[in-house]
Every structure is written in C-alpha cells, then in structure tokens.
Amino acid sequence: MVKAIVLLQRRSGMSRDDFEQYMRETHLPLVVRVPGLRRLVLNRVLPDPDSPAPVYDAVAEDWFDDLQTMGKAFESAEGKAVVDDGPNFLDMINFRLLVTEVEDIPLPT
C-alpha cells in the first residue's frame, strides 16, 4: 500500500472558512472520483493557542494499492482535474506532496 501525503495551505487572501467550503464542496468531490483511490483521509490542522498560526491548513492522505496504480490515477482525466483545481484554492508555492510506503506496526497487547 502506498500513500500520498499532501500538505495543503490555502491561497493568499482566502479565509479559512472559504478554504473549508471550497475543499468540501468543490475539491473533494473531484478527488473521490480518482480511479484506484482506496482511501481518502483529510486531517484539518487545529490551531495551538500557545503557538503561532500553523503553516498548513490541512493534510490529505490519498491511499493506493501501489505506485503504478497511483501514477495511472493522476494521469487519468479525473486525476488531472484534481491537479488542475489546486491553484483555485491552494498556495502552490508551499504545496508539498510526499509519497510513502505504508507499514502497519503491531501494537503490544
């Protein structure tokens, strides 16, 4: 299993509420149509009252069976629609994508 971890920072001048609404109503409906996507997790970054504002607003996890499946997914029309939508609400200069191999570590009982 591989996972694309995507660090998302909203576009300059966009409020947090507008970012959330755009993500929920426009972007995520595109992402869920990507072929081969096995799991999608959206982690909303919460502010820490004792620290400066977080750099990123959300962290997405896009799960696929393997690298080949992920590559084909983002070469598809649906995948290209997701990529093309990014500049509509994301700061693309600070956009980060990490491709990882997932290993579940058993916890002691």
Residue 104, phi then psi, degrees to nearest 5:
-80, 125
What whole-number distance in Å separates Cα of residue 42 and Cα of residue 9?
13
Pairing of strands 58-64, 39-44: antiparallel
Residue ranges of the domains in the chain? 2-101
The pTM of the whole model exceeds 0.85: yes
Read off the pLDDT of residues 10-56 as tens digits, 9 standing for 90 and up: 999 999 999 999 999 999 999 999 999 999 999 999 988 888 989 99
What pLDDT was estimated at residue 61?
98
Q: Tell me which DSSP letter residue 90 carries.
A: B
Residues 86, 79 contacting (CB under 8 angstroms): no
What pLDDT was estimated at residue 53?
86
What pLDDT was estimated at residue 7?
98
What pLDDT was estimated at residue 47?
86
What pLDDT was estimated at residue 19?
97
CATH topology of domain 2-101: Alpha-Beta Plaits (3.30.70)
> Which residues is 90 bridged to in the sheet?
10
Could you list the beta-strand ranges (E) of 14-108: 39-44, 58-64, 96-101
Read off the pLDDT of residues 66-93 as tens digits, 9 standing for 90 and up: 999 999 999 999 999 999 999 999 999 9
